[in-house]
Structure formats: structure tokens, C-alpha cells
């Protein structure tokens, strides 16, 4: 405390000498000793006011949109400094309001840096600081939480594929993870469903059911609505459907916390959760995490300054790529630098602070999503230097959480996992000069705009920003209603495209599509940028179409891929592609035409403006990871593969049960499910198909 006060006093003296509108002496002048005394008094009063008044002010402004609150930080801080100066005797302190904002921000940053430096150098000081942060709450809640059984923290590194994590460890970008892999943790790859994106994966992981999520965005003919996974209204409905199908609240229903996720997982403690952001009223605690973080003015100022630095970093990196004519490349102007800064700084800092708070009060299960890498990789590429720097900063956040776990009132097991990976490649539009929607219109004989329009990015961070600003709808109004007449509705989810005809109430068959638009399916199937199509056939079941007349009837494929069956257009998409496509074909809201881009040497062609994409099949997007402590049981038997987000949910529930505390009840798997989990990878295709669907 003395060191921080001394640093603040020195900072005030330096600023008084540099800024003409800030003085620490009477107009008639004072001696150096008097000026120093005045600075010491001002720094002390400012520190006391920050500790006492600031939390109350932030709580009063909790209903203000989060980004607006971040801007008000500077004005609140400046007001406290003006109040502190007015309390100095003899009117020796004075500053213009604009200058007060600058002085307060610099003093808060210096105080925070000084305290952090002392804590880093002195483990005991760091320990004492952590205990002080949660001492009152811990004393009240520790006794109520029972014995010191281990708690579990699940940290989701959004979009970090299994291969990306391994390369980051090998290249030295993630030393904390590297140390864990060497001593305490095991790394397991798992495979997503066809829809390799956060909405499908996280709903399956947190709620145990991701049935009928064919893509990131899709059209539902029975309701006439476009569902978008990162729209709060859609997230609420998807969570409701999952709970109705499973009859269970989710992974976190017992003493759980959900931080920065699309869905709550049944947690009572939520912050920055999209499915809660659509609510209004006292029950909406989606922004409670902002109070927990911004109640410390030093944290608020540090995050604000880091935000500005990140905006500058993105502008510099984008400019450098443009000057070097880096390929592939997408536009990164407009609001994107601010969206990136929100994901990589504000969202990260608030979520990490919320997780630290959860551990210090001893919550049983915490699930948090860090979207920083996913957002940057979409626009810079999953293997870019920009994305690697983000992984380095995420590793430091992981190290901080692990350090805090040492001081928590109960032991914690930290599990790292991802919801999907990303596949590199240029966009479909940049390769061929037209969008998927333009190609569909051409196949239907409809006029194509002379200038092809771009498609919106489905990056998760954009929705988080809109929710923080109380603007919960992700796209314009015209984009979640079907076009009038018989025109097709074309939606993109990474390298997965969906074509629907809104005027036909049921899912159209191949024969119906050919009768209406004879050239459409051949145009799509034979395009060099298209890998395969999925449509429904009147003879029953789905049919996969490829180039040069290739077709594959799903109901005819009773043999396994390694048993001699010819997978035709699916052969390039690896093991498990057939099972993933077959499962999606059974969904009630599968589009009339499902379009997956081609894949070549792990690269795909995104139908959105992304050079790192996910959402379909092809490349590393379908291969996320699970990094778990060796103290927990192995996710699957040796030599087996973990397939599907729903099965990851079962694994996480099993780990919660292993803590031997008051955990979420975990039903025993039925024999078919257990057999599927324990078979070798070559048998996974048949097993995944054989597991009965919950809806019958």
C-alpha cells in the first residue's frame, strides 16, 4: 500500500509539471515540500475514494450497456480526482475536467502496474492480495459448500483446433499448456458433427443435446424464421428445445457458473451469456460480470488502455498485410478493429475475472468461453502470426487462473477444451468472383447482380458486442425473413451453405427441385468449388450428389467405409463424414439443399468473408481438443475416438461425478452408447449411426 501510494504521488507530481491545466500549489506559489505534501494528500484521498465510492458508482450504472460503461470509466475516474483535489486544504489542487480525466487514468494505471509488479515478485504478497479479494464472500460461503471436494473449471478456447494447439506448444507459444502436457494433463482429439461451430458444439457440451442444428444459421419452414446461433432470441429457443428433449437443466445446474457462453448450461451464476442477454428485468444477470470487473478502477483503466492498443495493433497488422499483398485476405476495416479488441481484451478480461471470482468463492463447476483466437483467426488465418500472438496471451490468462486455483478454498481441476477448429483457405467469392447465392440464382435462371455482394461473418464476438450494447439482433431485419415469391433463400455457415425454398412448406425432394429448376443441382454439383450436395430423394432417404453425375444414396450404404463401401464425393472428407451427413439428413429443419465446399490439402472455400472458417466438413475445423488432468479418468478407452458434442457432455458429467461431491446426477449410458464409446476408430461410423436418437 505504501509503495502504491508513493508511486501515485510521484505520478501526480510529474503530471503537474507536464500539464498546464493541472496544478498542486496556490496561485501565489508554494515550496517544493508543500507541493510534494499536496501531491501525497491528493494521491491518498484519490485512493480512498476509488476504494469506497467507485464500487457504488459502478453498481448504480450496472444497467447501462457494457461498452458505454467502459467509456464512463474515464469520466467517473476523473470526477473522483476532482473531488479529491477539492478536499485538499487551502485550495492547492485544481484541474480542468478534461485534464482530470487524463490524470486519473494515468494514476490508476500506474497504481495497478505497481501493485501487479509487487505481487509478481513476491508470492506471499500475491497470496495475501488474492485472499483479500474474496475474503468476505469466502467466509460466508465456504461453510455452506461442505467438504473440500475438488471443483472443476472448464475453459473453452474457442476455435482452437487439436493441430493448432499442438503446433503452438511445439513452437513455444503456450508454455503453460506445454508444462501441463509434460507433467499433469493428457491431450485428446475429438470430432464434431457436420455443423462444426460453437452453437451446435456448445449446446451439445453444456446441455447434452444438439439435435436439429444443421448449421450456424438456417431457415425453419414451420415458423418462417431464420435461426442464427449467435442471436440471443435464437439461443434462448435452442436452449429451451434442448432442455425439453433431455428433461435436464444442463451440465452446470448444481452450484455452477457460466461465463461468456452462448448458453447457460443450467447455471445459476451467469455473466456475458447470450441466451440470457435476450431477457429483460431483474432476472437478467447477463452483465453481472461487468460489475465484478469494473468495480476496480485500475482494472477498468488497464482494460481500456489495452483495448486502444489492440485497435492500433489490428490497424497496423491489417495495413502491413495490405501493403505486402498477403493472400488470402479479407477486408478488416470499419468496426472490425473494435470488435476484435472487444473479443481479445474486454471479453477476455471480464471472463477471466469472473472465473477467478468463482474459484475464490469455491463454486463446484465453472464453464467459460474465451473467443479471442476464433475472432482473430477468422480474419487473419488460423496459422497466422496474429493468431499465434493471441494464443500467447490466452496462455498467460490460463497461467493466471492456475495460480489463483492454488489459493482457492477448495482444490480445482482445470480442463481445457475447444468447440471446433478452423480450416484455412480463401473465400468462395474471391476465388470465383461470385457468392454462393449468386451461383444458386444463376442455376435457377434468375438474374445475378453485376456486383456480387459479400456475406456477413458468423464470428461469435460480433454477437457479444451487440448484446453488450443492448442490440441483440445479429443481422438486419431483412436477413432473417425469406425473400418474397419463389426465390431461394441462401444462407452461409463457414464453408457450409444452405438453400431453402420458403414457398414450399416441406423439405423439397431432388425430383421436385429438378422439376422446378432443372439446371440448379447440376450447376452446384459440378462447380469446382463445391465438394458435395445433400438432398432428399423420393425413393427414400438422403442422396449425396457430386461432380460428373456422382450420387450416393445414404440408405444403400450399409457397409462401413473401411469395409469396401465407395463413399464417392465424401471420400475427401475423412472418416466420420458419412455418419455426420447421415445424422444431419435426419433433422427436421435440414435445408432443401445442403452445400459443402470442396477441400484440398486441408483448405476449404468459405461462403462467408473469412479466410479461417468453420461450420462444415473439411480440414481441421472438425477436430477440436480436450486437455484434461490425469487425475480424471480417460475420456475414452485407448485406441477409441470421441465423436460428437453430446458425448463430450457425457464425459464432462462423468468427471463431475468423480469429484465425489454434490454433483449433477449422471445417468448410466445404455449398452449401445457404451459400446459406441469403446469401439476402435474404424467402427465409429456405424456406431454413431446406430445410437438411437432421443426423439425416436
Own/partner pairs, 636-641, CB within 8 angstroms, 24+ separation: 636/188, 636/677, 636/678, 637/677, 637/678, 639/680, 639/681, 640/677, 640/678, 640/679, 640/680, 640/681, 640/684, 641/189, 641/190, 641/191, 641/681, 641/684
129 falls in which pLDDT band (50, 70, 90)? low
Instruction: List pLDDT tens digits, range 669-681.
Output: 444 444 444 444 3
Q: Are residue 394 and residue 354 in the same domain, yes or no?
A: yes
Instruction: List pLDDT tens digits, range 40-51.
Output: 888 888 778 777
Name residue 217's beta-bridge partners.
228
Q: Are residue 599 and residue 634 in the same domain, yes or no?
A: no
Least confident of 20-29, 130-139, 562-571: 130-139
**If you average pLDDT over each of 140-144, 358-362, 469-473, 481-485, which comes out highest?**
358-362
Q: Are residue 613 and residue 663 in the same domain, yes or no?
A: no
Instruction: Provide the number of structural domains found in the chain.
Output: 3
Mapped onto helix, strand or coil, the DSSP state of residue 121 is helix
The burial of 226, by beta-carbon neighbours within 10 Å (0-12 exposed, 13-18 middle, 19 or more buried), is given as buried
- Which CATH number is 285's domain given? 3.40.720.10
Cα–Cα dist 661/36, whole Å: 57
Which is higher by pLDDT, 626 or 230? 626
Mapped onto helix, strand or coil, the DSSP state of residue 217 is strand
For residue 131, being part of any structural domain is answered with no
How is 516-554 classified by DSSP, letter by letter?
H-TTHHHHHHTSTTEEEEEEE-TTSSEEEE-GGG-EEEG
Q: How many residues in total does the chain contain? A: 696
Q: What is the predicted pLDDT for the residue at 648?
A: 96
Are residues 208 and 250 in contact, defined by beta-carbon separation less than 8 angstroms?
A: yes
Q: Is the pLDDT of residue 455 over 80?
A: no
Instruction: List pLDDT tens digits, range 581-614.
Output: 999 999 999 999 999 999 999 999 999 988 999 9
Q: What is the predicted pLDDT for the residue at 467?
A: 54
Q: Are residue 604 and residue 637 in the same domain, yes or no?
A: no
For residue 117, being part of any structural domain is answered with yes
Q: Are residue 499 and residue 614 in the same domain, yes or no?
A: yes
For residue 140, being part of any structural domain is answered with no
Please report which helix (H) or strand (E) contains residue 106, including its range.
Answer: helix 97-121
DSSP letter at 188 equals E
Q: Are residue 447 and residue 524 in the same domain, yes or no?
A: yes
Q: What is the predicted pLDDT for the residue at 344?
A: 86
Q: Are residue 7 and residue 33 in the same domain, yes or no?
A: yes
For residue 130, being part of any structural domain is answered with no
Q: What is the predicted pLDDT for the residue at 35?
A: 81
Least confident of 68-82, 563-577, 603-617: 68-82
pLDDT, averaged across the chain:
80
- Rounded average pLDDT over 100-109: 77
Please report which helix (H) or strand (E) contains residue 293, including its range.
Answer: helix 288-294
Chosen domain end from 619, 645, 672? 619
Are residues 289 and 353 in contact, defined by beta-carbon separation less than 8 angstroms?
A: yes
- Rounded average pLDDT over 541-561: 80
Q: What is the predicted pLDDT for the residue at 51?
A: 73
What's the whole-model pTM score? 0.78
For residue 135, being part of any structural domain is answered with no
Q: What percent of the chain has pLDDT over 70?
A: 76
Cα–Cα dist 274/612, whole Å: 23
For residue 141, being part of any structural domain is answered with no
Q: Are residue 205 and residue 256 in the same domain, yes or no?
A: yes
Cα–Cα dist 478/670, whole Å: 45
Q: What is the predicted pLDDT for the residue at 66?
A: 53
| Nine cell digits for residue 573 | 472428407
451 falls in which pLDDT band (50, 70, 90)? low
For residue 128, being part of any structural domain is answered with no
Instruction: List pLDDT tens digits, range 613-645.
Output: 999 999 999 999 999 999 999 999 888 889 999
Domain region containing 626? 147-212+233-422+622-690
Q: Are residue 443 and residue 558 in the same domain, yes or no?
A: yes
Q: Are residue 393 and residue 433 in the same domain, yes or no?
A: no
Are residues 226 and 480 in contact, defined by beta-carbon separation less than 8 angstroms?
A: yes
| Nine cell digits for residue 82 | 476532482
Q: What is the predicted pLDDT for the residue at 154?
A: 97
Chosen domain end from 570, 590, 619? 619
Q: What is the predicted pLDDT for the residue at 651?
A: 95
Q: Are residue 38 and residue 156 in the same domain, yes or no?
A: no
Examine residue 327 and say whether the peptide bond preceding it is cis (omega within 30 degrees of 0). no
For residue 139, being part of any structural domain is answered with no
Mapped onto helix, strand or coil, the DSSP state of residue 557 is coil
655 falls in which pLDDT band (50, 70, 90)? very high
Q: Are residue 459 and residue 558 in the same domain, yes or no?
A: yes
- Rounded average pLDDT over 403-414: 88
Chosen domain end from 588, 619, 650? 619
Are residues 106 and 15 in contact, defined by beta-carbon separation less than 8 angstroms?
A: yes
Amino acid at each position: 500500500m505504501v509503495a502504491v501510494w508513493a508511486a501515485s504521488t510521484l505520478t501526480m507530481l510529474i503530471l503537474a509539471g507536464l500539464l498546464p491545466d493541472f496544478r498542486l500549489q496556490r496561485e501565489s506559489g508554494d515550496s517544493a515540500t508543500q507541493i510534494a505534501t499536496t501531491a501525497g494528500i491528493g494521491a491518498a484521498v484519490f485512493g480512498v475514494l476509488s476504494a469506497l465510492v467507485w464500487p457504488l458508482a459502478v453498481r448504480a450504472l450496472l444497467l447501462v450497456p457494457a461498452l458505454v460503461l467502459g467509456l464512463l470509466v474515464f469520466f467517473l475516474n476523473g470526477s473522483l480526482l476532482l473531488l479529491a483535489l477539492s478536499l485538499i486544504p487551502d485550495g492547492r489542487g485544481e484541474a480542468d475536467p478534461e485534464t482530470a480525466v487524463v490524470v486519473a487514468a494515468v494514476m490508476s494505471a500506474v497504481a495497478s502496474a505497481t501493485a501487479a509488479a509487487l505481487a509478481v515478485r513476491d508470492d506471499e504478497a500475491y497470496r495475501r492480495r488474492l485472499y483479500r479479494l474474496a475474503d468476505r464472500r469466502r467466509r460466508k460461503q465456504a461453510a455452506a459448500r461442505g467438504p473440500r471436494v475438488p471443483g472443476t473449471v472448464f475453459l473453452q478456447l474457442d476455435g482452437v483446433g487439436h493441430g493448432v494447439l499442438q503446433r503452438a506448444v511445439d513452437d513455444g507459444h503456450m508454455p503453460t499448456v506445454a508444462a501441463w502436457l509434460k507433467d499433469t494433463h493428457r491431450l485428446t482429439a475429438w470430432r464434431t458433427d457436420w455443423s462444426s461451430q460453437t452453437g451446435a458444439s456448445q449446446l451439445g457440451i453444456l446441455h447434452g443435446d444438439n439435435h436439429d442444428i444443421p448449421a450456424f444459421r438456417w431457415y425453419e419452414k414451420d415458423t418462417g424464421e431464420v435461426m442464427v446461433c449467435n442471436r440471443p432470441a435464437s439461443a434462448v429457443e435452442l436452449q429451451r428445445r434442448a432442455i425439453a428433449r433431455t428433461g435436464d437443466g444442463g451440465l452446470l445446474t448444481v452450484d455452477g457458473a457460466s461465463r461468456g457462453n452462448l448458453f447457460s448450461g443450467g447455471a445459476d451464476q451467469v455473466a456475458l451469456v447470450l441466451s440470457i442477454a435476450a431477457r429483460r428485468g431483474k432476472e437478467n444477470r447477463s452483465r453481472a460480470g461487468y460489475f465484478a470487473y469494473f468495480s476496480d478502477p485500475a482494472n477498468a483503466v488497464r482494460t481500456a488502455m489495452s483495448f486502444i492498443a489492440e485497435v492500433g495493433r489490428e490497424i497496423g497488422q491489417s495495413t502491413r498485410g495490405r501493403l505486402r499483398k498477403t493472400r488470402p485476405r479479407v477486408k478488416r476495416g470499419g468496426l472490425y478493429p473494435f470488435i476484435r479488441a472487444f473479443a481479445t481484451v474486454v471479453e477476455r478480461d471480464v471472463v477471466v475475472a469472473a472465473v477467478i471470482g468463482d474459484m475464490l468463492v469455491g463454486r463446484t463447476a465453472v464453464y467459460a468461453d474465451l473467443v479471442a483466437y476464433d475472432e482473430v483467426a477468422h480474419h487473419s488465418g488460423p496459422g497466422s502470426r496474429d493468431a499465434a500472438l493471441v494464443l500467447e496471451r490466452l496462455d498467460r490468462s490460463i497461467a493466471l487462473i492456475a495460480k489463483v486455483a492454488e489459493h482457492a478454498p477448495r482444490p480445482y481441476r482445470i480442463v481445457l477444451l475447444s468447440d471446433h477448429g478452423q480450416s484455412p483457405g480463401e473465400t468462395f467469392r474471391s476465388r470465383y468472383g461470385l457468392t454462393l447465392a449468386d451461383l444458386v440464382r444463376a442455376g435457377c435462371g434468375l438474374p445475378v447482380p453485376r456486383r456480387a455482394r459479400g456475406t456477413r461473418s458468423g464470428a461469435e464476438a460480433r454477437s457479444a458486442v451487440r448484446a453488450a450494447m443492448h442490440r441483440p439482433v445479429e443481422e438486419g431485419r431483412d436477413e432473417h425473413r425469406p425473400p418474397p415469391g419463389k426465390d431461394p433463400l441462401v444462407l452461409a455457415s463457414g464453408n457450409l451453405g444452405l438453400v431453402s425454398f420458403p414457398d414450399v412448406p416441406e423439405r423439397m425432394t431432388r425430383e421436385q427441385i429438378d422439376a422446378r429448376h432443372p439446371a440448379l443441382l447440376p450447376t452446384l454439383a459440378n462447380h469446382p468449388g463445391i465438394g458435395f450436395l445433400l438432398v432428399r430423394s423420393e425413393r427414400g432417404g438422403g442422396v449425396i450428389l457430386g461432380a460428373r453425375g456422382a450420387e450416393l444414396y445414404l440408405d444403400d450404404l450399409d457397409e462401413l467405409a473401411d469395409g469396401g463401401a465407395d463413399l464417392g464425393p465424401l471420400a475427401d472428407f475423412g472418416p466420420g463424414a458419412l455418419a455426420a451427413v447421415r445424422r444431419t439428413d435426419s433433422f427436421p429443419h435440414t435445408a432443401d439443399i445442403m452445400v459443402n465446399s470442396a477441400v484440398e490439402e486441408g483448405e476449404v472455400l468459405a461462403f462467408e468473408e473469412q479466410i479461417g472458417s468453420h461450420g462444415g466438413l473439411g480440414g481441421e475445423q472438425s477436430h477440436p481438443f480436450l486437455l484434461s488432468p490425469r487425475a480424471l479418468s480417460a475420456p475414452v478407452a485407448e485406441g477409441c475416438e470421441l465423436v460428437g458434442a453430446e458425448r463430450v457432455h457425457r464425459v464432462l458429467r462423468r468427471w463431475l461425478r468423480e469429484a465425489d461431491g454434490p454433483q449433477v446426477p449422471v445417468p448410466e449410458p445404455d449398452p449401445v452408447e457404451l459400446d459406441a464409446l469403446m469401439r476402435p476408430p474404424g467402427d465409429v461410423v456405424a456406431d454413431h449411426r446406430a445410437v438411437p436418437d432421443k426423439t425416436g
